[in-house]
């Protein structure tokens, strides 16, 4: 039995009120998995499938079951995943009615045809999400390629090991005898965690470059440089040695705290977000937890933000809660290593939702299309934005 068959079976059992406690628990897992979010997507695909095959009774029945489940208090409790608005969820009943009304078959055909064409435009080519990929470049130019099967690497006392305790087997990839700074970098479509010599943890998002010393020993301050990209920092406390992050046009100083810095050139601004503790920026701007500084054109503004949304990438998720459509597409381009081509650029398009970064680009674009204000076409490693 496929997952979809099992889901349909459990939904039918729920609707007929003879579902066991074990089956009900399984149904809740399928529908509200906070990582993959497959259940609801499959449930609504079942509704669409019934409509397109003109199984109107089945479509109406599935839609009613779906609405009953998502309104159930036990389903809403502790649900982290938010969905992009599906305008057709609230209009399925109206759609079904239009199908039944004489002459409405043309509407059905037009809707189904457009839906199929949109699916074909997106699904013709599969572009997989990013993964654990990174490298270390030494001052002499030697490059150490880090294992893609690991999530992070620990750097300390000229040694190099992975976060699971295994050592780097290739002696040519050790840091023995290295005294200069090293540069950690992730490509487009890559992410990695680095544990620095002082115990501080840094997560690098896609297309990010961070430079830091092999050892902080003997230094008055712990200086690192975020040349470009985005990094989430959890700084080991050391009151005697401030931690300083230099990035283009900015110097951020901390003693021990959690914060995120986004310094992508294409986004047009450098954003520093404080999760906990305190930071000082350019010796004059202080942030409180939940605040973000925005450096643009040599000016800094401070605003309140959703810190969970800012740090979502570190936790393997996309969060769309912005009116800046181009910034959202830049985020997608970096993670999937694609080029965005604009035949059409929507204005004031507000996106709201949350998805796993483990999903394919086709699934992500499909969700964005559900706003009905923009469409996409995949051409090789290019994503074309169309009206």
* 3-class SS string, the chain: CCHHHHHHHHHHHHHCCCCCHHHHHHHHHHHHCCCCCHHHHHHHHHHHHHHHCCCHHHHHHHHHHHHHHHCCHHHHCCCCCCCCCCCCCCCHHHHHHHHHCCCCHHHHHHHHHHHHHHHHHHHCCCCCCCEECCEEECCCCCEEECCCCCCEEEEECCEEEECCCCECCCHHHCCCCCCCEEEEEECCCEEEEEECCCCCEEEECCCEEEEEECCCCCCCCEEEEEEEEEEEEECCCCCCCCEEEEECCEEEEECCCEEEEEECHHHCCEEEEEEECCEEECCCEEECCCEEEEEECCEEEEEECCHHHHCHHHHCEEEECCCCHHHHHHHHHHHHCCEEEECCCCCCCCCCEEEECCCCHHHHHHHHHCCCCCEEEEECCEEEEEC
Q: Considering only 318-322, 349-353, 363-367, which range has the smallest mean pLDDT?
A: 349-353
Averaged pLDDT, 265-270: 92
Average pLDDT, the chain: 77
Residue 51 pLDDT > 90: no
The answer to whether residues 297 and 291 touch, using CB atoms and an 8 Å cutoff, is no
Exposure of 78 in the CB half-sphere (CA atoms within 13 A):
5
Tokens of 294: 């925005």
Confidence band (pLDDT; 50, 70, 90) for 106? very low
Residue 37 pLDDT > 80: no
Highest mean pLDDT among 10-19, 20-29, 319-328: 319-328
Q: Given the DSSP bridges, would you call strands 258-263 and 270-276 parallel, antiparallel or unpaired?
A: antiparallel
**pLDDT given at position 220:** 92
Q: In degrees to the nearest 10, what's the CA dihedral of 140, 162, 130, 40?
A: -170
Calpha distance 81→357 (Å, rounded):
13
Averaged pLDDT, 352-365: 89
Q: Considering only 18-32, 78-92, 155-169, 171-185, which range has the smallest mean pLDDT?
A: 78-92
Residue 164 pLDDT > 50: yes
**pLDDT given at position 176:** 59
Give how far Cα 134 sits from Cα of 58, 73, 223, 302, 373, Å: 49, 43, 21, 32, 36
**pLDDT given at position 157:** 66
Helix axes 92-100, 56-70, angle to 10 degrees: 170
The percentage of residues in the chain with a pLDDT greater than 90, rounded to a whole number, is 42
Residue 197 pLDDT > 60: yes
User: Nearest-CA neighbor of 272 among 256, 288, 283?
Assistant: 288
Tokens of 24: 């009900």
Averaged pLDDT, 142-157: 87
Residue 275 pLDDT > 90: yes
Q: What is the pTM of this model?
A: 0.68
Q: In degrees to the nearest 10, what's the CA dihedral of 128, 173, 209, 195?
A: 90
Calpha distance 130→336 (Å, rounded):
6
Tokens of 362: 């086709």
CB within 8 Å of 371: residues ≥ 6 apart:
84, 85, 87, 349, 351
**pLDDT given at position 269:** 93
More confident of the two residues 62 and 158: 158
Helix axes 38-52, 56-70, angle to 10 degrees: 160
**pLDDT given at position 32:** 52
Highest mean pLDDT among 37-51, 97-111, 122-136, 221-235: 221-235
Q: Given the DSSP bridges, would you call strands 190-195 and 152-156 parallel, antiparallel or unpaired?
A: parallel
Calpha distance 32→78 (Å, rounded):
10
**pLDDT given at position 138:** 85
- In order of their start, the domains of the chain are 3-123 (no CATH), 131-312 (2.60.120.1440), 316-386 (3.55.50.30)
CB within 8 Å of 71: residues ≥ 6 apart:
none
Q: Considering only 43-47, 249-253, 340-344, which range has the smallest mean pLDDT?
A: 43-47
């Amino acid at each position: 039995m496929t997952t979809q068959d099992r889901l349909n079976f459990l939904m039918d059992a729920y609707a007929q009120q003879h579902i066991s406690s074990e089956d009900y628990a399984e149904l809740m897992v399928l529908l509200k998995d906070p990582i993959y979010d497959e259940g609801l997507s499959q449930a609504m695909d079942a509704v669409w499938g019934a409509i397109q095959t003109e199984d109107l009774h089945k479509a109406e029945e599935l839609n009613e079951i779906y609405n009953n489940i998502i309104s159930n208090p036990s389903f809403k409790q502790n649900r982290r995943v938010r969905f992009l608005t599906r305008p057709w969820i609230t209009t399925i009943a109206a759609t079904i009615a239009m199908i039944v009304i004489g002459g409405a078959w043309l509407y059905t055909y037009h809707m189904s045809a457009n839906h199929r064409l949109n699916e074909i435009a997106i699904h013709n080519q599969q572009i997989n999400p990013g993964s654990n990929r990174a490298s270390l470049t030494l001052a002499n130019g030697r490059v150490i390629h880090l294992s893609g099967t690991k999530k992070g690497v620990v750097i300390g006392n000229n040694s190099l090991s992975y976060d699971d305790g295994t050592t780097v087997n290739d002696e040519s990839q050790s840091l023995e005898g290295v005294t200069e700074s090293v540069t950690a970098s992730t490509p487009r479509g890559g992410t990695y965690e680095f544990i620095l010599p002082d115990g501080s943890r840094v997560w690098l998002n896609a297309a990010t470059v961070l430079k830091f010393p092999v050892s902080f020993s003997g230094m008055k301050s712990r200086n690192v440089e975020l040349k470009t990209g985005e990094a989430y920092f959890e700084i080991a406390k050391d009151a005697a040695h401030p931690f300083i992050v230099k990035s283009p046009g900015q110097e951020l100083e901390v003693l021990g705290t959690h914060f995120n810095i986004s310094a992508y050139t294409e986004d047009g601004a450098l954003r520093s977000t404080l999760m906990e503790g305190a930071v000082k920026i350019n010796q004059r701007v202080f942030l409180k937890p939940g605040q973000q500084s925005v450096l643009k054109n040599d000016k800094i503004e401070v605003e309140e933000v959703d810190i969970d949304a800012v740090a979502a990438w570190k936790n393997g998720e996309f969060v769309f809660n912005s009116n800046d459509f181009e910034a959202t597409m830049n985020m997608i381009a970096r993670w999937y290593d694609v080029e965005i081509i604009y035949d059409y650029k929507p204005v004031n398009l507000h996106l709201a939702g949350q998805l796993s970064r483990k999903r394919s680009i086709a699934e992500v674009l499909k969700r964005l299309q559900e706003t009905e204000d923009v469409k996409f076409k995949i051409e090789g490693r290019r994503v074309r934005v169309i009206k």
